[in-house]
Amino acid sequence: MGRALTQAFLTAGHPTTVWNRTAAKAAGSVAAGAILADSPGAAVEAAELVVVNVIDYDAVEAIVRPVATQLKGRTLVNLVADTPCRARRLAGWAEENGIDYLDGAIMVPTTAVGTPESLIFYAGDERLYQAHKPALDALGGGTYVGADPGRAASMDVPLLDMFFHGYAGLAHGFALAKAEGIDPADLAPYAKMITGLVPQFVEEHVRRMQEQDYGDDLSSIRSMAAGLSHIADTAEENRLDAGSVRAVQAILRRAIEAGRGDDSLGKLTDLFGEVTA
């Protein structure tokens, strides 16, 4: 991702200095025109806009905290996704040290960075975002989501939740098919059909949440629970892990026991909150 960000800045004509914890990994960026710094401090001192993208917040803090003095008066744009709480804490540290701070979340793979398909959430001081928008636009898809520094992560985490749970379901479904002797290629056309139904439910799910309308639905919590039982039983009969299915099943069972079995699936969002409260 760091190489993709660097290439996008270079393509847009921005002089770019890079530093990598593994210097050899910066070779491609240097060959493309970037300047290699020999330390984080040297990289910071090379520009007013400092963009960091590493594996996680532990790595971010290990890099930026020792160079707080050099960062003072500059803008730090952190494009490493983590929890909203950690984003707010890092923003607080930056403010205490006189560092302008924007938090961000990259929502696309490396190949989309710098293209019209890119999507990057930014959160923090809007005036700061607008001041650096001409440079950040090189990365494509910039979307300002609010003054709360944790807001980008607050958008990122639920979207990743949807993606990873969806992908895990896809993988689990193919595992079930394989266990039952179904060729994945034979199942693929129908997998596209069934997963393609999910986007159709988004607006309806939101409407039901907003209106608290959980009745008069063709697909109820009770019917979903029955379907999940078939899935979990088949998985266990084939000695496959059914833990994720059983976990959702347990939530639905509590709802049914509480007299909500005939509610629509739109009620599920509330149920997750009630179970963990």
Judge if 130 and 195 occupy the same domain. Answer: no
Q: Domain boundary residue among 149, 183, 201?
A: 149
CATH number at residue 117: 3.40.50.720
Instruction: Copy the structure tokens of residue 67.
Output: 């160079």
If one counts the domains in the chain, the total is 2
Higher pLDDT, 114 or 267: 114
Please tell me the predicted confidence (pLDDT) of residue 216.
65
Judge if 145 and 9 occupy the same domain. Answer: yes
For residues 92 and 123, give the distance between their C-alpha atoms in angstroms, rounded to a whole number: 13
User: Is a pLDDT exceeding 90 seen at residue 260?
Assistant: no
Q: Domain boundary residue among 97, 123, 149?
A: 149
For residues 37 and 46, give the distance between their C-alpha atoms in angstroms, rounded to a whole number: 9
Please tell me the predicted confidence (pLDDT) of residue 62.
96
Please tell me the predicted confidence (pLDDT) of residue 272.
84
Order across the sheet with 142-146: list the strands: 49-52, 75-78, 100-106, 120-124, 142-146
Please tell me the predicted confidence (pLDDT) of residue 93.
97
Please tell me the predicted confidence (pLDDT) of residue 271.
85
Average pLDDT of the chain, as a whole number:
93
Judge if 27 and 95 occupy the same domain. Answer: yes
For residues 4 and 79, give the distance between their C-alpha atoms in angstroms, rounded to a whole number: 12
Judge if 142 and 15 occupy the same domain. Answer: yes
CATH number at residue 217: 1.10.1040.10
Judge if 226 and 254 occupy the same domain. Answer: yes
For residues 240 and 179, give the distance between their C-alpha atoms in angstroms, rounded to a whole number: 8
> What's the pTM?
0.88
Instruction: Copy the structure tokens of residue 47.
Output: 């520009």
State the pLDDT confidence band at 217, using cuts at 50, 70 and 90.
low
Closest-CA residue to 35 (of 70, 12, 6): 6
State what percent of residues in the chain have pLDDT above 70: 98
Judge if 85 and 204 occupy the same domain. Answer: no
Q: Domain boundary residue among 97, 128, 149?
A: 149
Contacts of 259 (CB under 8 A, 6+ apart): none
Q: What is the pLDDT of residues 86-125, one digit of tens each?
A: 999 999 999 999 999 999 999 999 999 999 999 999 999 9
Judge if 17 and 128 occupy the same domain. Answer: yes
Judge if 60 and 162 occupy the same domain. Answer: no
Q: What are phi and psi of 109, to 5 degrees?
A: -70, 170
Judge if 174 and 144 occupy the same domain. Answer: no
CB 187 within 8 A of CB 235: no
Closest-CA residue to 222 (of 172, 195, 259): 259
Please tell me the predicted confidence (pLDDT) of residue 103.
97
Judge if 61 and 197 occupy the same domain. Answer: no
State the pLDDT confidence band at 28, using cuts at 50, 70 and 90.
very high
Please tell me the predicted confidence (pLDDT) of residue 277.
43
Higher pLDDT, 266 or 97: 97
Judge if 143 and 30 occupy the same domain. Answer: yes
Please tell me the predicted confidence (pLDDT) of residue 200.
85
Structural domain range at position 27: 2-149
Judge if 46 and 144 occupy the same domain. Answer: yes
Higher pLDDT, 254 or 136: 136
CA–CA distance from 147 to each of 81, 85, 96 (Å)?
17, 14, 17
Question: DSSP secondary structure string, 174-233?
Answer: HHHHHHTT--HHHHHHHHHHHHTTHHHHHHHHHHHHHHT---S-SSBHHHHHHHHHHHHH
Instruction: Copy the structure tokens of residue 113.
Output: 């960075």
Please tell me the predicted confidence (pLDDT) of residue 237.
96
For residues 119 and 104, give the distance between their C-alpha atoms in angstroms, rounded to a whole number: 10
